[in-house]
A and B are shown apart, each in its own frame.
Chain A
């Protein structure tokens, strides 16, 4: 069966709540069948609004949303056949786990035997067999979360929406649930649209990530590309850690450009700068800068250690470098531990290809 690359399609969708401010601006987004796509962004960036429009709880102010080629803007939520996992789980507190799961099947008039079979399958998927007669209040947060996932999947929807479903869980549970949801997605191949503001969650789980800011998709790409090759300084800032230098392009050719920072000059990879004299923000991942590099690198500077923070698996070092005292380095915890002392000078080097000259913040 060939996968439909435009299984869900947002076509020039605008959304405004008050007729004055656009919460979502000209959204153009195609989601392939069976894909796990994450909408990532800070709060107020319009990602949840997009999800609500897809679920049918909000209507687009302009544009159309298509599901498998059909316009669904005028179809009420209960006829869309889209499963949804809510932020606070939204389990029905007066029903047992079984009744919660049976709800979508009963309204579809599924036979009793069939209901039992499907519930059994759904519960074993989230490893909650034997919890059928519990009330939601008798379950832990993680278990409630699993019931909510099982309930959204039990009626075999074409698309499942998840609205920050792991937000209320503690860190360890959240991580194990991330893998669990990812594995469920892989095993049943349902299309998942996932909303979160947690970048590590997005990177762990998704096939593709749409980074939202200010009502617009800033970048839509797979996790690796998103992290390695951010297209603008918002994405660079929002995903992972990031050292920045603000400066002006003093020279530019095809692969490299020179950026003037006060009285120093660095070599960078021109991504969104085109000509001399442009203001730019250069972004560099902390782990791409090396201490005392053995190989020749095209950016070599000396900085002073301001702070050493021990993090267990790695050590973070804050440097005073090129006029900025916020330069962060990550040193992995290895056997050849360096003696790093505050106020000492060290040599730092990085390749110009890793220093991405982006738009200014």
Chain B
């Protein structure tokens, strides 16, 4: 490391480092070529779409391109009183271009999202232009202000100015039930309209509980798998993996058959007299259904990392614990359990991250109270076609997952994860 050390030469007089690099170059190129297809695949299918998603979620260029002259003139406007004649004429010029391209409707809709009432006043302005009521030799400002009283309201011009930047965080705010108020500050949506925050919390809650249930059920199974003799453990392993080999849709559908009010589980409860026939509990289209189905489906993701860690723990450690005087519980808690923490971490992280973005199962068995944020994203993708909002929420979800990963790294350390 020290700079005093002399450069080491090979027997042929070439510096050792140079020679080493030369000798290793071929191997490096070969290694890179081997991973190149995967790298390319990842860039195309992963990094590029995420970048695209991000740019879409903050993209607000449409209106920037529609009103280029207006925004240029507005740069010098202080935004406190009505803008000057120049701004009005620039807006008029931009608007005429849009009318020729028949895109003024889009402008109206976009501005209407920013402030209610824009749609009707742009239509009114359009009619005036169509009737050639605007004389370009006179003051444009005076004439536009006459079209509708809202054109005389400074708040509407402020709204236009707010749309000037090509990027906006509005979608992200909407995802957290917030919005830009008229003065540009961030405000909360009315309490009775805060649907997204409820969904975020519910998603976290369900992911957390599914992780806990998976852990409570998976730990003993993994332990059994790791300690049973080969012939039994193989059979048990197949039972654990069986869900993996069945389509997710089929598994969810079979839970629907089991859990519905006239379903197998309810029939059984009635049979053993746990509930009366006319009072069958609802176990589907609510959280219960989501919990049950998701726990069963995600269980292998908990069992496998735990199993792979437990498999490496020598049985003599438990024996040592007992022979040294620890009761079976003490030996388990002080010796065995701490050694399984890497597996617990890996399993919990896997299940939690998978659960937080789960879609099909909650969509099918979740009902209204069991839907998650991913269902909301799908709704905006397919029904409202607000892709930028869907992208924004998708990215928020991704950020959340990365945050969980970061916290996990701080608490347990990613190096301690053992997936197998």
Contact = CB atoms under 8 A, between A and B. Distances in A.
Contacts of B207: none
Given A78-B328, A86-B316, A107-B330, A92 B335 contact: yes
Interface centre among A56, A78, A86 (most CB of B within 10 A): A78
B326 A86 contact: no
Interface string B318-339: 0111111111101100110011
A15 interface: no
Contact of A151 (B317, B322, B324, B334): B324
B322 A76 contact: yes
Interface string B48-69: 0000000000000000000000
A94 interface: yes
Given A78-B331, A87-B316, A103 B339 contact: no
A90 B314 contact: yes
Contact of A92 (B317, B323, B325, B328): B317
A296 interface: no
Contacts of A90: 314, 316-317, 319-320
Given A78-B326, A78-B328, A92-B335, A103 B316 contact: no
- Secondary structure call for the B interface: helix
B319 A77 contact: yes
Given A103-B326, A155-B325, A57 B319 contact: yes
B339 A107 contact: no
Interface in A227-285: none
Interface residues of A, number: 28
A104 interface: yes
A223 interface: no
Contact of A103 (B319, B324, B338): B324
A303 interface: no
A211 interface: no
Contacts of B324: 78, 83-84, 103-104, 107, 151-152, 155
A84 B323 CA distance: 7
A23 interface: no
A108 B319 contact: no
A83 B322 CA distance: 10
Nearest to B335: A92
B322 A78 contact: yes
A108 B330 CA distance: 11
A81 interface: yes
A82 interface: yes
A187 B334 CA distance: 32
A103 B321 contact: yes
Interface of A: 55-57, 76-84, 86-88, 90-94, 103-104, 107-108, 151-152, 155, 161
18 contacts: A55-B319, A56-B322, A57-B322, A78-B322, A78-B326, A78-B327, A78-B330, A81-B325, A86-B316, A90-B316, A90-B317, A90-B319, A92-B320, A92-B334, A104-B324, A107-B326, A152-B324, A161-B323
Q: Which 9 A-B pairs have the closest CB atoms?
A: A104-B324, A90-B320, A90-B316, A84-B323, A77-B322, A86-B316, A78-B322, A107-B326, A107-B325
Given A56-B323, A86-B319, 20 more contacts: A55-B323, A56-B322, A57-B323, A78-B326, A78-B327, A78-B328, A78-B331, A82-B323, A86-B320, A87-B316, A88-B316, A90-B319, A91-B320, A92-B334, A93-B339, A103-B321, A104-B325, A104-B326, A107-B327, A155-B325
